[in-house]
Amino acid sequence: MAGTEGEDESTENAMRPPQSVVISSTEADEIPKSVDPPLLTGTVVAADVHAQTISQPIAQSQLQYVMGPDGQMYAYEKAPFNWKHFCLGFFIPVGIIFAQLLLSVILTEDYDYYDYVQNIELEFTKYEGSALSLSLPPSNDYVIQYCSISGEDFESYFCQFWDNDAISITKKGTSNQVGTVYKTNNTMYLEENFPSGNYTIFYEYVEQSRYQEWIELQESESVGADMMGFVCCFLLVINILGSIISFVTGRKDMGIGFLLSFIAVPIIAGLGSIAFLW
């Protein structure tokens, strides 16, 4: 009997129509939905890994701190050293002094000093209580340009050249006149107060016929030296002003160039003068 009832119940359930099942909203959300993938359009560009830049920390030495108008300090990365500005500050003054040296060489005639100037050493004796008059050889056809007298006691006397025909002889370190050299007849005169003893006079002279030519060569040489001195002083002022203006306007590289040329210009001028006068 029990088996028959179970069979009848299963047969009845099988013959019933299917019933609809209601799913709550919470259960519906848990069911995954199929999503259509988006369509890509346009040109695909492959990424370059090496083109990516990585930000590196900036060292403190590369930063410049400036006070802003709002009273805050702002850090700016310093600009790289500008070699063009440095060269302008350094080579312009140096180039000018080299050009001046070249101009001095062109304007100054080259000559040998001893082609015009000759010298003589002459020994003499001065006696106590008497004056001395001594003719200076070789003849009257020359002009004395330099003279000095030295004695056995190592005392020295020098000739003071002026524009007149009389050359004063004074003791070294003093202005007391103890003698005279007359250029008109090339005669040396020593006064009575000149110490007695044995002496040697050394003097240089130029022949009268070549004297004017020698004077012109001396003047051309002095013009070159005066020009060099003027240009050197002018460039020193330019270097000082240029360095100040460069640093004030923020062109530190140009200011460094001016400062280095401030040191280089006198050295170049000095070496150039030595080579020029050699």
Amino acid at 116: Y
pLDDT at position 276, please?
A: 61
pTM of the full structure: 0.48
* CA angle at 155 for the pair 120 and 173, rounded to the nearest 5°: 105
pLDDT in tens, the chain (278 residues): 444 455 555 555 555 555 544 445 444 455 555 555 554 444 444 444 444 444 556 665 666 667 777 778 777 666 777 899 899 899 999 998 888 888 877 776 667 777 888 899 999 999 988 899 888 887 668 888 888 899 887 788 888 776 567 788 888 888 888 888 887 788 889 988 888 899 999 988 888 888 888 888 877 777 777 777 788 888 889 999 999 999 998 888 999 999 999 999 888 888 877 766 56
The tokens describing 239, both together, are 């270097």
Is the separation of the CB atoms in 121 and 205 below 8 Å? Answer: no
CATH 2.40.330 describes domain 114-209: no
* CA angle at 269 for the pair 264 and 273, rounded to the nearest 5°: 150
Q: String of b and e for 72-109 (b: at least 16 CB within 10 Å)? A: eeeeeeeeeeeeebbebbbebbbebbeebbeebeeebe
The tokens describing 152, both together, are 């056995």
Per-domain boundaries in the chain: 83-109+214-277, 114-209
pLDDT at position 199, please?
A: 92
pLDDT at position 164, please?
A: 65
